[in-house]
Structure 1
Amino acid sequence: MIALLGKVGSTLVTGLVGAAAWDGVKKAADSGAVREGAVAAVAVGLKGKRHLEAGAERVRLTTGDIVAEARERVGEQAPPPGSDVGHGHDH
């Protein structure tokens, strides 16, 4: 009987803690704190994405310059930027 009362008490405490936690989540959602946090996280992600894209573009341009200079050194004429020379298939 004492073991049963211990289990009932434990279940009751777990339920009360869960209900309190749920009320806290509802209050936070109603106050806009959750939305504000989500907006801030997405804003940081967008800034990071822009930074990575800018870095990738710098790498692409630098690589193009290096390839063009290497072709020039071996006497090859570099194709003009944006040309389809050597593309290999039709669109």
Structure 2
Amino acid sequence: MTYNSTYQDRAGQSAQAKQKALEQFRSRPPVDEKLAAERKAAGQRREEAKAEKAATKKAEAEAKAADDAAKAAASAPPTEAEAKAARDARYAARKNRK
């Protein structure tokens, strides 16, 4: 294609390209129904496996969150009396070292 081509030249080339693409499309072999069904079934199996994996991952995350919440509840901050007793024990130990 040259830079000085006219509109008619470009339109003709476009029509030829469209005709060639249409001929290539029509010359394709027909779709094999058995192969298409196999591909569709394989796609469905992949989707099911993906959904199952996501559900398993979500269940594991929920279980971990519940476990973390239980640990957090079990390791609640010490009460004032417990904190005072621990502080007194550290003080006594430091005093005995001197």
Could you tell me the TM-score, scaled by structure 2's length?
0.53
Question: Which amino acid is 1:62 matched to?
Answer: K
CA deviation profile, 1:2-22 (whole Å, cap 9, x unmatched): x6xx7576554333212113x
Q: Which has the larger radius of gyration?
A: 2
Q: Percent identity?
A: 11
Structure 1, unmatched stretches of 5+, are 76-91
**2:38 alignment counterpart:** 36
Structure 2, unmatched stretches of 5+, are 1-8, 78-98
**2:94 alignment counterpart:** none
Question: Which amino acid is 2:38 matched to?
Answer: E
CA deviation profile, 1:50-70 (whole Å, cap 9, x unmatched): 112111101101110110110
Could you tell me the TM-score, scaled by structure 1's length?
0.56
4+ runs deviating over 6 angstroms: none
Among residues 21, 26, 42, which one is paired with 1:14 in the alignment? 21
Q: Is the counterpart of residue 54 in structure 1 residue 52 in structure 2?
A: no
* TM superposition shift of 1:32: 1.8
Cα RMSD of the aligned pairs, angstroms, is 2.4
Query: Partners of 1:12 and 1:70 in 2: how far apart?
Result: 71
Question: Which amino acid is 1:33 matched to?
Answer: L
